[in-house]
């Protein structure tokens, strides 16, 4: 990390700077109270029950990606983003990587909204698990032996991280949701050099499936009359 902004990886660098800016703002504004539940919520954390009750709070489904709960949480996710972001930005290209990151984070937070509605949750791990899932899905898409090997190695990494997700204070729902989102979106955004590895109608179908799943999760409390 010898420079603040690496022009070779503009999206990874921008995400690191933006997330760091949010974290520093939490510390400056709230002092030693920067990791409290109230601070996390005030800076954009997800509270699923409130979003379901008041849809105008839906912006939190994105903002929570950039908010962290304490220094350890922030450092771990930023180190992970630094390394996996550069790999993914090389593989998918900057625009597709940004879309993967944000849409995976959205899916992860939709899972949080439905399956952990009473917990205030936040963190980049929803998006990061999406990137893990996208790379792991390449074993079913890519023809390159290198990409297939890389994909298999990430599959093992995902299994290990899922086990850690059962620890207290970690959002299993968010991690699984991000993983699902990234796995689907890998079929929408083919990697460089293998643009023809996924047929156009498959890409459209995968994107439609993502949109339908996200829409169903978002609307399910209304459809099924869930109340808290």
Cβ–Cβ under 8 Å, residues 142 and 208: no
Q: What are the helix (H) ranges across 54-186?
A: 60-63, 71-92, 94-115, 125-136, 145-164, 172-185
The residues annotated with a catalytic role in the active site are: 125, 175
The predicted-structure confidence for 166-219, as pLDDT tens digits, reads as follows: 776 778 899 999 999 999 999 999 887 776 777 889 899 999 999 999 999 999
Cβ–Cβ under 8 Å, residues 49 and 97: no
Distance in Å from the first CA to the final CA of the chain: 45
pTM of the model as a whole: 0.92
Cβ–Cβ under 8 Å, residues 206 and 140: no
The predicted-structure confidence for 73-115, as pLDDT tens digits, reads as follows: 999 999 999 999 999 999 999 999 999 999 999 999 999 999 9
- List residues bridging with 121 in a β-sheet: 46
- Give all domains of the chain, ordered by start, each with its CATH number: 10-223 (1.20.1540.10)
């Amino acid at each position: 990390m010898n420079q603040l902004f690496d022009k070779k990886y503009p999206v990874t660098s921008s995400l690191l700077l933006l997330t760091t800016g949010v974290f520093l703002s939490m510390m400056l504004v709230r002092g030693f109270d920067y990791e409290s539940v109230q601070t996390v919520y005030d800076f954009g954390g997800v509270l699923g029950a409130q979003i379901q009750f008041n849809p105008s709070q839906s912006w939190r489904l994105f903002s929570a990606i950039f908010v962290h709960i304490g220094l350890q949480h922030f450092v771990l996710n930023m180190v992970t983003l630094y390394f996996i972001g550069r790999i993914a930005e090389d593989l998918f290209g900057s625009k597709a990587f940004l879309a993967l990151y944000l849409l995976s984070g959205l899916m992860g937070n939709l899972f949080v909204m439905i399956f952990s509605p009473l917990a205030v949750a936040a963190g980049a791990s929803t998006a990061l698990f999406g990137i893990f899932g996208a790379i792991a899905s390449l074993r079913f898409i890519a023809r390159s032996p290198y990409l297939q090997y890389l994909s298999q190695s990430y599959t093992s990494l995902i299994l290990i991280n899922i086990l850690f997700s059962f620890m207290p204070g970690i959002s299993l729902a968010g991690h699984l949701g991000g993983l699902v989102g990234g796995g689907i979106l890998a079929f929408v955004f083919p990697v460089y050099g293998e643009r023809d590895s996924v047929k156009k109608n498959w890409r459209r179908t995968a994107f439609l499936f993502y949109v339908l799943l996200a829409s169903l999760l978002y609307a399910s409390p209304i459809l099924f009359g869930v109340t808290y």
